[in-house]
Structure 1
Amino acid sequence: MNIATDIFLFTITAPLGILITIGLWKLFQKAGRPGWESLIPVYNIYIILKISGRSWWLLSLLLIPGINLIVGLGIMIDFIKSYGKFKMSQNAAVVLLPFIYLPKWGFDKNTRYLGPSASDDFYEEHHGDLKKSPAREWTEAIIFAVVAATLIRSLFIEAYTIPTPSMESSLLVGDFLFVSKINYGARLPMTPVAFPFAHHTMPLTGGKAYWDGIKLPYFRLPGFGDIKKGDVVVFNYPMDADSPLYRPVDKRENYIKRCQGIPGDTLSLLNARVYVNNKAAITPPRGEMEYMVRNNGGSFNWQQVYDLHLSDIQQFTNQDFILNTTARSAALLKQQSDVQSVRANVRLRGVYDPEIFPHDPHFRWNVDNFGPIIIPKKGWTVKLDSLSLPIYRRVIEVYEHNRLQVNGNNISINGKAANSYTFKLNYYWMMGDNRHNSEDSRFWGFVPEDHIVGKALFVWMSWDAETHRIRWSRVMRMIY
């Protein structure tokens, strides 16, 4: 049912993009431009600016998070004014329903290109139609764009960028994603007073982009379904609750990982393999991990590194390397004539890593051998003792806002003696597909349900910063 919902949303969203492109093709032709210019990402925005009479440097503002949405919608409103669409209802149409109105105007014989709307001559010629100064028109357009975009990104869908390799090779650095808020239900803002489109930090100045003087309780609208094991989920980083940031829940950093465990599950890792309720979980086929490689001497050639997607290569001797790659690429690497051996670099069972949750020497766990651990479920009651308290203390104190004190063998919660605790929220276990290059639940524990932002649906664009090229094979690609 969950996969069917994703496919349904994708099959709706992808054709909408095609309709918008068709509309731009026809409108470009009306302005005397070749229609094919609408097909090229970024360049088509440059042409829109040129048709509207706006400066090309506005493209640079589209790289700034938050500001890009305001400017982007303002550019489109400016663009349709060049075709005589001056009314507020028409501004609303291009913002909310561009897949309908851009093709409609493109094929409409009565819609014609009047000239660049940003020029002084345009205002003088069409003064009777505009009835407002260009400054007022632009101001109203920005205000409308802010309101419309805020509603869209808060309640329906929002764009995100992959900044780190923690999900490689399932998701690559430079992938641009659409994340659905409606799959799990949109979370209403808990910190409502904030600068539009800036998450937690102001662009350029670096100050706080929100005021936490007003805080609203957690509330989520009904969604299509619940989080399933295997879903790729965007959520707020729970550790931002701590010093020195002390950020509100909805202003904590956005992370993206794969859900490996849901409320009530018993989860463990054995030799880097995830087990849920004593059953082996499906390993992401494009997930990466560390491998020890021995070859006949010398480094890997560039083509080999690129074709097999080898990363984080470290050389220890003339023959010995550690690198990150997928299981498939490791198997292909092992077949090469100059490679002697390839084996997964799995940490030994029973070797304690103090960086691993719950950071207690009683639990001799590491990134590859961990648990078993029970993921809290709303309404579940756990017995509190010296073994369970290190695992659930943060949940009780930080996420569910209780005052917990321990005096010898005596435990009190909010001033009352307690030997058990009943959880108020559901929790999840999130892990990166790049198992040895991901800071995830193995390091900081559970993700509360009020931290969940949405489900990653598909990659709409992907940019390779190393080659400075678009990865066309990843464009409009579903995320599994």
Structure 2
Amino acid sequence: MDIATYTAFCLTAGPLTILMVIGLWKLFEKAGRPGWESLIPVYNVYIILKISGRPWWLLLLLLIPGINIIIGVGVAVDFIKSYGKFKISQNAAIILLPFICLPKWGFDKNTRYLGPSATISFHEKHRKDLQKSTTREWAEAVIFAVVAATLIRSLFIEAYTIPTPSMESSLLVGDFLFVSKINYGARLPITPVAFPFAHHTMPIIGGKAYWNGIKLPYFRLPGLGDIKKGDVVVFNFPMDADSPFYRPVDKRENYIKRCQGTPGDTLSLLNAKVYVNDEAAITPSHGEMEYMVRNDGSSFNRQLARDLHLSDIQQFTNQDFMMNMTAQSAALLKQQAGIKSVRPNIRFNGVYDPEVFPHNPKFRWNVDNLGPIIIPKKGWTVKLDSLTLPIYRRAIEVYEQNKLQVNDNHISINGKPADSYTFKLNYYWMMGDNRHNSEDSRFWGFVPEDHIVGKALFVWMSWDAETHKIRWSRVMRMIK
């Protein structure tokens, strides 16, 4: 979090915190407790539990990331029930608007402390009056389910579907997988006001499923570990920051790729082979790429194509074809009768492709030959010149939100002359296993750490849209 963001956060959070403390002070006094107890962190939560009649050991659960949010909601609701606030609207208010309702009830002369067993005694005394209608029972059940599901998918695990072939044959179109939020630490919502279970677009009716009038600073809970090279990672598509979408970070499209480079690594591609820190990276065993195939002129065996999972078949002459396949499929295809040659379709080194990052003719790179390129690491300082600026400008301007200008080879950042820049975020290099059919970091560069969603764990179900059958061999399959 930069200084400007931190300052803005403090200016917003500070007054709201003061309002909540004032409200707690007055409510503590109504329960016969000294108001100053509301000023002491942790101890004030212990007093809230005591006032509510809840066990002290809930404090321990409040120390566990993720679980503390669920327990905290329950503690807050039980606390206001001790003051006779039983309505659904009041329960929602203490969660969504505590800085308003706490001081309001604290200064309200009609709000009285009913005791730690207020919930039970209230229901016993007014059971007939509180007889719930079927509508209310369903409403409460739906609200609970939505809140519980939202917390689970935000903090623990979420289901995703593979929509494109960019990870084939490691992951297939129609694979349903679970993505863990706790492996790298759950990212707390940056755009908190959104329609439940919709990502960025409203289902059926279309339009935005979120309101970007409120944006919170980036914060991630502690995780089980860091992203490692070779991990299959779900992240938000960085280019959605641009026109026509201009989406907030956590509402950008979800992508899934394999991490090839981590912060501080030097990465390059040579003849379609990835090298990290001058060492050859492990090639995904089920990854695909384009191959040129020549046969004896006979018609191509379509059953063989299905058996070997050959895809995107293009025919140029009666003998020459181009298609996607794995290295294993290529080896088997070479053994087939009538096949004269099978060779990878690799671009020549030094041939410039304008679609490849950083889209600058000074870098004669293409999808199979690229780099070397240093992946930015938090705290790393890069010298800014005509060679480094095309590579790192987007990270400095868009992802780290600086105003960068270049006038007659003079660089300024936020109005000040600059010949270097120190990064505030970690970055990653992501690539699809289907190397010639994947839109990835080779085309748009680095993935910032605040775009990371989670780690893909396993395929729980797989549906083949062509055969309309379940791929039973892939069900409950771990992702490697």
Query: Fold match, TM over 0.5?
Result: yes
Contact kept, 8 Å, 2:200 with 2:251, in 1: the verdict is: yes
Describe the SS at the equivalent of 1:333: helix
The separation in 1 between residues aligned to 2:443 and 2:371, in whole angstroms, is 13
- Residues 344-363 of structure 1, C-alpha deviations (whole Å, 9 max, x = no match): 00000000000000000000
**Cα distance 1:471–1:131, how it changes in 2: closer, same or farther (>3 A)?**
farther
In the alignment, which residue of structure 2 is the partner of 1:202?
202
Q: What's 1:154 paired with?
A: 154
The answer to whether structure 1 residue 226 and structure 2 residue 226 are counterparts is yes
Q: Equivalent residue of 1:260, what SS?
A: strand
Provide Cα deviations, 1:36-89, integer angstroms capped at 9, x if missing partner.
xxxxxxxxxxxxxxxxxxxxxxxxxxxxxxxxxxxxxxxxxxxxxxxxxxxxxx
In the alignment, the residues of structure 1 paired with residue 298 and residue 138 of structure 2 have an alpha-carbon distance, to the nearest angstrom, of: 61
One-letter code of the match for 1:219?
F
> 2: distance between equivalents of 1:292 and 1:283?
20
Helix, strand or coil: the match of 1:343? strand
Partner of 1:171: 171
Partner of 1:425: 425
C-alpha separation in 2, matches of 1:449 and 1:299? 49
State how far apart, in whole Å, the 2-side matches of 1:444 and 1:161 are: 23
Provide the C-alpha distance between the structure 2 equivalents of 1:427 and 1:302, rounded to a whole number of angstroms. 43
Equivalent residue for 2:135?
135
Count the aligned residue pairs. Answer: 353
- Residue in 2 that maps onto 1:113: none
In structure 2, distance between residues paired with 1:439 and 1:413 = 30
Q: Structure 2: which amino acid aligns with 1:361?
A: P
Q: Match for residue 332 of structure 1? A: 332
- Distance apart, 1:296 and its partner CA: 1.3
Distance 2:299 2:439 in 1: 29
Q: Which residue of 1 aligns with 2:247?
A: 247
**Deviations for 1:237-293, whole angstroms, at most 9, x for unmatched residues?**
000000110000000000000000000000000000000000000000000000000
SS of the aligned residue for 2:234 comes to: strand
Matches within 5 A, 1:8-407: 131-407=131-407
Which amino acid letter does the alignment assign opposite residue 330 of structure 2?
Answer: A
SS of corresponding position for 1:144:
helix
TM-score by length of 1: 0.73
Determine the C-alpha separation between the residues in 1 that align with 2:297 and 2:456. Answer: 42
Aligned equivalents of 1:134, 1:473: Cα separation in 2 = 44
Deviation digits for residues 302-330 of structure 1, max 9, x if unmatched?
Answer: 32111100000000110110000000000
- For the residue of structure 1 that corresponds to 2:269, the secondary structure is strand
Checking the alignment, whether the CA contact within 8 Å between 2:268 and 2:276 is kept in structure 1 is yes
Partner of 1:447: 447
Shift of 1:133: 3.2
Which amino acid is the alignment partner of residue 157 of structure 2? I
CA RMSD of aligned residues (A): 1.3
CA distance in 2, matches of 1:242, 1:359: 16
**One-letter amino acid of the structure 1 residue matched with residue 397 of structure 2:** E
Q: Distance in 2 between matches of 1:180 and 1:131?
A: 41
Shift of 1:301: 2.5
- The 1-side partners of 2:302 and 2:136 are apart by 55
**8 Å Cα contact 2:235/2:254 also seen in 1:** yes
Distance 1:161 1:204 in 2: 19
**Deviations along 1:101-139, whole A, 9 cap, x unmatched?**
xxxxxxxxxxxxxxxxxxxxxxxxxxx9x9533332222
Task: Give 2:408's aligned residue.
Answer: 408
* Secondary structure in 2 matching 1:226: coil
Same amino acid, percent of matched pairs: 86
Instruction: Give the drift of 1:299.
Output: 3.5
Give the whole-Å Cα distance in 2 for the aligned partners of 1:168 and 1:142: 38
Match of 2:38 in 1: none
Q: Distance in 2 between matches of 1:201 and 1:297?
A: 49
Distance in 2 between the 1:298 and 1:353 partners?
35
- Measured in 1, the distance between the counterparts of 2:211 and 2:245 equals 14
Q: Distance in 1 between matches of 2:330 and 2:194?
A: 47
Equivalent position SS for 2:142: helix
Distance (Å, rounded) in 2 between the aligned partners of 1:345 and 1:302 = 21
Report the Cα distance in structure 2 between the residues aligned to 1:181 and 1:283, rounded to whole angstroms.
26
Provide TM-score, normalisation by structure 2.
Answer: 0.73
Gaps of 5+ in 2: 1-127
Q: Secondary structure, in 3 states, of the residue corresponding to 2:190?
A: coil
Tell me how far 1:297 sits from its aligned partner: 1.6
SS in 2 for 1:264: coil
- Using a 3 Å threshold, how does the CA distance of structure 1 residues 299 and 135 change in structure 2: closer, same or farther? farther
Distance 1:169 1:298 in 2: 27
Whole-Å Cα distance in 1 between the matches of residues 333 and 137 of structure 2? 61
Task: Indicate the residue corresponding to 1:109 in structure 2.
Answer: none
CA offset at residue 375 of structure 1? 0.1
Which SS does the other structure have where 1:398 is aligned? Answer: helix
CA distance in 1, matches of 2:476, 2:363: 43
Distance in structure 2 (CA, Å) of the matches to 1:154 and 1:260: 26
Instruction: For 2:297 and 2:359, locate their aligned partners in 1 and report how far apart those are by CA, in whole Å.
Output: 40
Q: Are the equivalent residues in 1 in contact too, given 2:177–2:456 (CA < 8 A)?
A: yes
Aligned letter for 1:205? I
Measure the CA separation in 1 of the matches of 2:142 and 2:302: 47
Distance 2:193 2:300 in 1: 53
d(CA) in 1 for partners of 2:206, 2:244 = 15
In 2, Cα distance between the equivalents of 1:384 and 1:431?
26
Residues 387, 138 of structure 1: alpha-carbon distance in 2 compared, 3 angstrom cutoff: same
8 Å CA contact retained: 2:298, 2:338: no
User: Counterparts of 2:324 and 2:409 in 1: how far apart (Å)?
Assistant: 45
Instruction: Give the whole-Å Cα distance in 2 for the aligned partners of 1:206 and 1:449.
Output: 29
Following TM superposition, by how much is the alpha carbon of 1:332 offset from its aligned partner in structure 2, in angstroms?
0.3
